[in-house]
Structure 1
C-alpha cells in the first residue's frame, strides 16, 4: 500500500493512471514480453513524465507563496516546457534558463521552445559553460525578481529532487495495479526500464518498488553523463527522501541499475541507428518515441537484448516518458531514413 499519510500535497494536473500496453509484435520479435507504460498519455501539452514530479513541486511553490518558478534545461527541454505550462495551471509565472551554443542567436521558436513562448515563459538563453554554473545564475535571476517585488521558487533540472521523486513513487503504485490486473495477486518477475537524464524518474521508481513485495527490478538507460555520475545523483535523492519521509517498511537503500554505454554522440545528439530504431518502432507498433530520452533508452534496451535475450528477464515494462515535440526540430535528420 502507498503510504498516503506520508505523501506531501500535490496539485493534480496529469491524466493518470496511464495505461499499460503490451507491444505484441515487438514481444514476438525480441522473444521477451514487453509492455509500455504510456506516460506520454499524461496529457497533451503536459505530456510526459515531468508533470508527475511537477504536481508536487508546484504545490510546494504555491504553499510557499511563490509567484514565479525558475527552472533550466536544454533548448528543447521537455521539463522546461512542462514547467511553463504547469505554472500557468498553478497561477504562477515562469522563467527558464535554456542552454544553447550562441545565446545571441537562439534556436528558432519551434517544438518545445514555441510552447514555452506560448505559455508566456520568460526565457534567458545561456551557454553550456554558463549552464555548468546554473546555481549562480539562478541566484542572480532570483535576486533580480526579488528586487522587483516577486517571490521566486527554483525547480532544479528535471524536477529531480526528493520531493519530485514522489511523482514516480505514485507511478510505481499505478504500475503494480496494472500488473495485478494482468497477473492476478501473484505479479510475475518484471524489469522496469526508463530513460535517465536527471535521475528523478529512476529514483522515484526505485523508491516505489521498495514499497511493494513484488519481484520487480528497476533499470535506467542514461542518456547523458555516465554510471558513476548517476549513482551519486540518484543515491542522493533517495537518501534525502528517506530522511524527509522515513517509511516504516523501508529496509535499506532502494535497488536500481544504470545501463551505461548508450549516450552515443551526447545529450540530445542523435545517431542514425537511434533514429532508425524510432522509425522502426513507429512502423511496428504505431508508437512514436522522442530522440533525446526514450529513443536512446529504447535503442539501448534493444542492444542489450540483442546481446542477451534474458538480460532483463522474461518481462519488461518500458516507461514511455513522452517528448514527442522534440522530434519536429530534427525532422531533416530523418530525411534519409523515411
Structure 2
C-alpha cells in the first residue's frame, strides 16, 4: 500500500468520468472520455485543489499562518489558493505577472473577493527574478510577525505532486467499478505537477496506461526537466523512490500557439464547437488548447480507432471570460 502525506480534505472527490459520445463518433477514432476535475468544488473547482490538499496540510502542520503564491493575473491556482486560505483562516498573498493593466474580472475579481493581498509585478521583472521576489516578500511578512509559506506556480512541486498520484489511484478504482481500461490518459501541461503526479501514479496503479501531456507553454524539453525535478522532490516524502525516466515522459509539443494564455481564432472556434456539441466548456489557456491538440493528433492518426482515451478536464472556466470579446458567434 502506498503511503501518502497528510491531506486537508477540500475537494469533492471522486470526480466523475463520462464519455464524449458525440465527439468520439464525429472523429471516428478512439473513444474519448473526460475525467471531470472541473467539478472538484464550487468556486475552487479545477485541478489545483488536488495539489493544494497536500500543500496546505504540510503548511499547517509546520505552523505557517500565511500563504504566498504566484501566477498570471487570471491564474486558476491563485484563485484556488485564495479561497482555501479564506476557508482555513490563513492570510494569502498573490504575486501576479502584470503583462497589461489588470481588469477586475473573473479570477482576479474572485481573488479580491476572497480577501487575498495582490502584488502586481511587471512581466520583465516577474519572469527574470520571480524566486527573489517571493523570498523578499516572505522575509518582509516574517519580519511583521507572520510565518509565510511559499507555494510555487500551480503548486507543482514535491508535496503538491501527491494530489495527482492520488488522482491516478482514484481513476484506477473507477476503472474497476465501471469496467473500463484506458490506453491513454491525456492532460494539459502548464506547470508540470499534474503530469508528474499522474506518471508516478501510473507506475503504482495504472501499469497498462500511457500518460500523455500536451504542453500549453514553454516546450517539451523544458517540461521533461521540470517533471524529473518534481518527481525527485516528491521522493523526500515517500517511503520508496519511484523515479520517472526520460524515455517514459510523453509530451506532444506544437500546440502552444501564440503563447501561454494567448488564443488563436481556430482554438476559440474549437471551444465553441465542443460546447455546442457536448455541453462541456473548455478554457482557452489549458484544456481548450490541449483538447484541440488531442483532436488534431487523432485526425493525424496518432491515436487509433478502438483505443480509449481519458482526457483530464482540469477546469479553468473563469479563464474564458476575459476573452469573451474574441469569440465569433455566428447566428
Tell me if both proteins adopt one fold, taking TM over 0.5 as the criterion.
yes
Query: 8 Å contact 2:231–2:243 — kept in the other structure?
Result: no
Provide the residue aligned with 1:148 in structure 2.
144
Tell me the distance in 2 between the aligned counterparts of 1:48 and 1:258.
21
The question of 1:306 aligning with 2:299 is answered: yes
1:101 deviates by 2.3
Tell me the distance in 1 between the aligned counterparts of 2:45 and 2:149.
23
Provide the residue aligned with 2:108 in structure 1.
113
Provide the residue aligned with 2:94 in structure 1.
96
1:63 deviates by 1.2
Q: 2:274 is paired with a residue of what secondary structure? A: helix
1:262 deviates by 0.3
Distance of aligned partners of 1:241 and 1:253 in 2 relative to their CA distance in 1, 3 Å threshold: farther
Tell me the distance in 2 between the aligned counterparts of 1:160 and 1:38.
20
Tell me the distance in 2 between the aligned counterparts of 1:18 and 1:193.
16
Superposed, 1:173-212 pairs within 5 Å as 173-183=169-179, 188-212=181-205
Cα deviation 1:128-147 (Å, max 9, x = unaligned): 11112111101111111112
Distance of aligned partners of 1:287 and 1:228 in 2 relative to their CA distance in 1, 3 Å threshold: same
Tell me the distance in 2 between the aligned counterparts of 1:81 and 1:258.
27
The question of 1:74 aligning with 2:72 is answered: yes
Provide the residue aligned with 1:46 in structure 2.
44
1:107 deviates by 1.3
Cα deviation 1:191-232 (Å, max 9, x = unaligned): 000110000000000010000254100011000000000000
Query: 8 Å contact 1:209–1:216 — kept in the other structure?
Result: yes
TM-score, scaled to structure 1:
0.93
Provide the residue aligned with 2:14 in structure 1.
17
Query: 8 Å contact 1:50–1:78 — kept in the other structure?
Result: yes
1:335 deviates by 3.3
Structure 1 residue runs of 5 or longer lacking an equivalent are: none
Q: Number of paired residues?
A: 328
Superposed, 1:1-338 pairs within 5 Å as 3=2, 6-30=3-27, 31-102=29-100, 106-132=101-127, 133-183=129-179, 188-212=181-205, 214-247=207-240, 250=242, 253=245, 255-308=248-301, 310=303, 314-336=307-329
Tell me the distance in 2 between the aligned counterparts of 1:276 and 1:223.
17
Q: 2:160 is paired with a residue of what secondary structure? A: helix
Structure 2 residue runs of 5 or longer lacking an equivalent are: none
Cα deviation 1:227-253 (Å, max 9, x = unaligned): 0000000011112223431438x4764
Query: 8 Å contact 1:189–1:214 — kept in the other structure?
Result: no
Cα deviation 1:11-51 (Å, max 9, x = unaligned): 10000000000111111112211100000000110110000
Please give the root-mean-square deviation of Cα atoms over the aligned residues, in Å.
1.7
1:182 deviates by 2.6
Query: 8 Å contact 2:54–2:162 — kept in the other structure?
Result: yes
1:309 deviates by 5.4
Tell me the distance in 2 between the aligned counterparts of 1:189 and 1:285.
21
